Amino acid sequence: MAQTFNLPDAGEGLTEAEIVSWKVSPGDTVAINDVLVEIETAKSLVELPSPWAGTVGELLVAEGVTVEVGTPIITVLEAGESGAPAPAAAPPAVEHEDPTPPDVGPQAAPGPLVGSGPRADAVKRRARHTAARPQPTSVGSGQGRPAAQEPRATASASASASTDATVPAPEPSPRPQTSPTPPSPSPTSPQPSRTVPAPAPSRPAGNPIERLVQRVLAKPPVRKAAKDLGIDLADVTASGAGGEVTRDDLLSYAEQVARNQANAPQFWDAKADHGRIEKVTVRGVRKATAQAMVQSAFSAPHVSIFVDVDASRTMEFVKRLKASRDFEGIKVSPLLILAKAVIWAAARNPQVNASWVPGENGDEIHIKHYMNLGIAAATPRGLMVPNIKNAQDLTLKELAIALGDLATTARAGKTKPAQMQGGTLSITNIGALGIDIGTPIINPGEVAIVAFGTIRQKPWVVSGEVIPRWITTLGGSFDHRVVDGDLSARFMADVAAIMEEPALLLE
């Protein structure tokens, strides 16, 4: 008889989940506790094991579909039972997915340092045409094209020219005339033209008059290639004798320009099928985070305070811990000292480690005499706030290990729903990205959160003298229904005191 497996509640009170990937196919043999499917809830990725042994019958829900708890998702046949497994339904089309473009052949592939698109292709054709055209042998030969009529390619094709249109080597000059006086041109004969390079455009740096008068030294082939690439020779650093710009100087500068343009961020990809507006469905962690932040911001009246802290002794303490044998192989950072400082300060000010609980017979404040310390973590799936259970009982070394394990698990997307539940007070480390400070939003169910800014050297007054010190800024947000201004100030002052003097932890 076929057993139908319904989507269970993988967390506390979750109502739906998305089928991320099936780990089995129809006809596969499974044993008890073999993983059937990976689902994504509003809190984490979860693998669901099989409660039976048998053969996979039918996958009832396709990957990428969100279903409610209790929905049948798979059937498992008993051993020896046969059935015609039906293929899973095709996943629904998602507007923002980018289909892979068809293979357009090697001619459309961009060069190693040049972008793609119609403009780059046109520049490539121009560069190949220029390389195939014969070059003038000397200045004033009369065969060259006037400089004013010479086409200019954009600098974005500089690397293309270095691969498709190599700058030709200088040709030998013709032997001098035997007569010291050149013949005067007749009125009917064409007047020999003299190719004169256009003056370099003025730039903000340097004297403009000197730039117009001073002529950059370069051989004619190098000068011609610079025109085709749209490069001002005055911008190229010369390494030749007497300050001459060589072929290698030009190619090196062209490659540098191409690299800079290739590394520039692209605001909009014209080849993507989503066009100028990309629509992203809000689901999973992003959906849960949005709901939680709206609930917190508009139900708990926030009050925020900030304090600058001299963390020089914290930096010295972290340095000593890293060199200690007891902390060998353990990641130690200033966040460890802040976490310990928050635990210490909350023990001195218990009401910041609490929650506001509405009730039919009146609202209540629940003060927690334990610390489940939440650490906000940015993951590929969005913002998550797992917490360290009973952090008040951990030694400094145990707390360092717990912080490392929490971060590793969160980045891998393996945080379990239980690790997200029951937090009492949270920390967010925005300083990891070089941000000085921000105003954090309280995690729902809590009444306080501490934001940790970057630590950088700044001028600081010590005993009347201005000296460089390691300075950071701490920011705290509090639910004003529970935490008054005086209490929030005393709590933040205690946290700052530990960051300024970690030895207080030993008292």
Residues 6+ apart with CB under 8 A from 368: 353, 354, 355, 424
Residue pair 255/262 in contact by the 8 Å Cβ criterion = no
What pLDDT band is residue 456 in, cutting at 50, 70 and 90?
Answer: very high
Which two tokens mark 484?
């008054």
pLDDT in tens, 100-125: 444 434 343 333 334 445 444 544 55
| pLDDT at 484 > cutoff 80 | yes
Most confident of 188-192, 220-224, 452-456: 452-456
Q: What is the pTM of this model?
A: 0.54
More confident residue, 48 or 310: 310
For residue 289, what pLDDT is reported? 77
**Percent of the chain predicted with pLDDT > 90:** 35
The domain spans of the chain are 3-77, 150-165+201-266, 301-506
pLDDT in tens, 60-105: 999 888 888 889 999 988 866 665 444 444 444 444 444 444 443 4
| pLDDT at 136 > cutoff 50 | no
What pLDDT band is residue 147 in, cutting at 50, 70 and 90?
Answer: very low
pLDDT in tens, 381-419: 778 899 999 999 999 999 999 999 998 888 887 888 888
The mean predicted confidence, pLDDT, of the chain is 77
For residue 475, what pLDDT is reported? 96
What topology is assigned to 3-77 in CATH?
OB fold (Dihydrolipoamide Acetyltransferase, E2P) (2.40.50)
For residue 336, what pLDDT is reported? 95
Distance CA 36, CA 284 (A): 20
Residues marked as catalytic: 480
For residue 81, what pLDDT is reported? 64
Distance CA 83, CA 74 (A): 13
* Architecture category of domain 301-506 in CATH: 2-Layer Sandwich (3.30)
| pLDDT at 181 > cutoff 60 | no
| pLDDT at 12 > cutoff 90 | no
What does 258-325 look like in DSSP terms, one character per residue?
Answer: HHHHHTSPPS--TTSTTTT-------HHHHHHHHHHHHHHHHS-EEEEEEEEE-HHHHHHHHHHHHSG
Distance CA 312, CA 471 (A): 7
What is the four-CA torsion angle of 343, 344, 347, 352, rounded to 10 degrees?
Answer: -60
For residue 275, what pLDDT is reported? 65
Tell me if residue 378 falls in helix, strand or coil: strand
For residue 94, what pLDDT is reported? 45
What topology is assigned to 150-165+201-266 in CATH?
Dihydrolipoamide Transferase (4.10.320)
For residue 22, what pLDDT is reported? 92
For residue 285, what pLDDT is reported? 73
